[in-house]
Amino acid sequence: MPPTVDTAHAQLVVVSNRLPIAYQIAADGEKVASLSPGGLVAALGPALAGTGATWVGWDGTVDGSEEPLDVEGFRIEPVSLTAELIKGHYEGFSNGTLWPLFHNVGVPARFSAPWWGSYERANEAFAERVAKVSPEGAVVFVQDYHLMLVPALLRNRRPDLTIGYFHHIPFPDPDTMAALDQRAMVLQGLLGADIVGFQRQRDVEAFHKNTASMGVQVPGDHKVQVAAYPISIDTAGVSQAAQALKVQARASDLRKEWGNPSRVFLGVDRLDYTKGIPERLQAFEELLASGAASSEDTVFVQAGSPSRETVEQYQALSAEIDEIVTRVNAKYPSGQERGAIVYLRENLPREEMLALFVAADVMVVTSLADGMNLVAKEFVACRSDDSGVLVLSTEAGAAETMSEALLVNPFNKTEIVEALEASLVLAPEDVARRMAALRQEVSTNDVARWARAILADLETARAN
Ligand code: GDG
């Protein structure tokens, strides 16, 4: 029997592949877990306050313990995965097959029958654990493409639960999806949920086209609501943190370190081939070649946090970026210690990231495909004086609502070069007007609003 609860609202069980925790070794040698402050924790925190929410996920270790932990108000239920399952489920099917297939930017998806087997087994392990720990009548909120089979597996085990699923990345059209032999099972897995949420209307439509073309129907007699819930950031929190004296001082120190250039372009990404990093650095190279900007008083700062380094395509991307940076810096010296491109290939502390957002003049987001892109929103949240220009890819979900950015087609290098050039000559009142509008949008549509919208719809589904 599942444990029962006595609260007015349903208890919430969040399920994500990675748990939002990090381990530190304390002075006495003991392993202590703390909450890592990601977007989802910030989003769901207020909604969870006082309800004693549970979070089910993998802690990132091989053969980890399944012992539950109480961490800062969350009940953490770790799912243990073997090295073989991690390889097949996480590195293999999730990041070698699904990620390139769903983003569809020209990097071939790789297919392997054992990877699919691992994906199934890992999804079963998550569903099994959720079924075991969820109180009677709870709301379960499953996150992202690593866990697309969980909704149906869970409904079979626990029909009393109300199940939500949110997909953080794009959903492909049937033509692209056709490459995946297991697509019907994936669609059936998702249709086990009461609510399937996507970033954009375009993803909702792609999902419907897929179920129609495959003739996949909702199993049993439950209803499935498929809708767009564009995710966002903790705008007030980011904005406030960026205004801290320490961050502002660090931002001006950074500009000094770069030789007080008149213009600073900035890119901030996980090192992922979907983010269009080579394309944007090459566009900057062309801007320098055209003479519209000079490396002496213009710098491109690119922060790239290493990601999925065990996956082959990520190693190739990293080598490609190194090559571009070396070439551009050799061709365009700045007369100072830095090159034309300052490349920070590291996982930066939060405050340092905020200082970069404050120090930049132009934020450049050129994703080839991106569910949303939170970096664009974080930059805007940091510009409390309405300064700064955002160059934004039309292929990022964020472009749907951030129309005051300079929007570019990331596949057209000339367009990126032109946008970089335009950003340098925008009239100050135009810059301020655009940024004020962007800030208004991101302030209104913050992540708390996203969480409230989807959780309210789950409550309604539960009541019906
Ligand atoms: C997926 C979807 C969707 C990056 N480098 C560092 C660092 N970051 C932080 C950023 C931002 C987050 O990581 C990245 O979020 P994005 O949205 O840009 O991209 P994905 O990681 O690909 O996320 C995406 C998102 O899910 C949410 O639904 O928007 O489309 O692909 O918050 O600030 N943070 C720190 N150091 C770094 O070096 N501290």
| Closest atom of ligand 1 relative to the 371 alpha carbon | 30
Ligand 1 center from residue 268 Cα (angstroms)? 9
Ligand 1 center from residue 71 Cα (angstroms)? 23
Ligand 1 center from residue 275 Cα (angstroms)? 11
Ligand 1 center from residue 38 Cα (angstroms)? 9
* 348 close to 304: Cβ distance less than 8 angstroms: no
pLDDT of residue 3: 43
pLDDT of residue 359: 98
Ligand 1 center from residue 222 Cα (angstroms)? 34
For atom 33 of ligand 1, which residue has the closest CA? 375
pLDDT of residue 318: 95
| Closest atom of ligand 1 relative to the 346 alpha carbon | 38
Ligand 1 center from residue 219 Cα (angstroms)? 35
| Closest atom of ligand 1 relative to the 231 alpha carbon | 28
Write a three-state SS string for the chain. Answer: CCCCCCCCCCCEEEEEEECCEEEEECCCCCEEEEECCCHHHHHHHHHHCCCCCEEEEECCCCCCCCCCEEECCEEEEECCCCHHHHHHHHHHHHHHHHHHHHHCCCCCCCCCHHHHHHHHHHHHHHHHHHHHHCCCCCEEEEECHHHCCHHHHHHHHCCCCEEEEECCCCCCCHHHHCCCCCHHHHHHHHCCCCEEEECCHHHHHHHHHHHHHHCCCCCCCCCCEEEECCCCCCHHHHHHHHCCHHHHHHHHHHHHHCCCCCEEEEEEEECCCCCCHHHHHHHHHHHHHHCCCCCCCEEEEEEEECCCCCCHHHHHHHHHHHHHHHHHHHHCECCCCCECEEEECCCCCHHHHHHHHHHCCEEEECCCCECCCHHHHHHHHCCCCCCCEEEEECCEHHHHCCCCCEEECCCCHHHHHHHHHHHHHCCHHHHHHHHHHHHHHHHHCCHHHHHHHHHHHHHHHHHC
Ligand 1 center from residue 358 Cα (angstroms)? 18
| Closest atom of ligand 1 relative to the 376 alpha carbon | 18
Ligand 1 center from residue 214 Cα (angstroms)? 33
pLDDT of residue 50: 61
pLDDT of residue 26: 85
The series of mean pLDDT values per 10 residues for the chain, 464 residues long, is 45 93 86 79 68 88 93 90 96 96 96 97 98 96 97 97 98 98 98 98 98 90 95 94 98 97 96 97 98 96 92 92 97 91 95 98 98 96 97 97 97 98 97 98 94 94 91
Pocket test for ligand 1, best of 375, 378, 393 (most atoms within 8 A of CB): 375
Domains and CATH numbers, the chain: 12-232+448-463 (3.40.50.2000), 235-444 (3.40.50.2000)
| Closest atom of ligand 1 relative to the 397 alpha carbon | 30
Residues with CB under 6 A from ligand 1: 39, 168-169, 231, 268, 270, 303, 305, 347-348, 350, 353, 370-375, 378
| Closest atom of ligand 1 relative to the 374 alpha carbon | 17
| Closest atom of ligand 1 relative to the 38 alpha carbon | 32
For atom 1 of ligand 1, which residue has the closest CA? 168
Ligand 1 center from residue 223 Cα (angstroms)? 32
Instruction: Give the C-alpha separation, 15 to 56, whole Å.
Output: 5
**For residue 245, which amino acid is it?**
L
Ligand 1 center from residue 378 Cα (angstroms)? 10
pLDDT of residue 22: 87
Pocket test for ligand 1, best of 344, 354, 356, 372 (most atoms within 8 A of CB): 372
For atom 10 of ligand 1, which residue has the closest CA? 375
pLDDT of residue 267: 98
Ligand 1 center from residue 371 Cα (angstroms)? 11
pTM of the model: 0.95
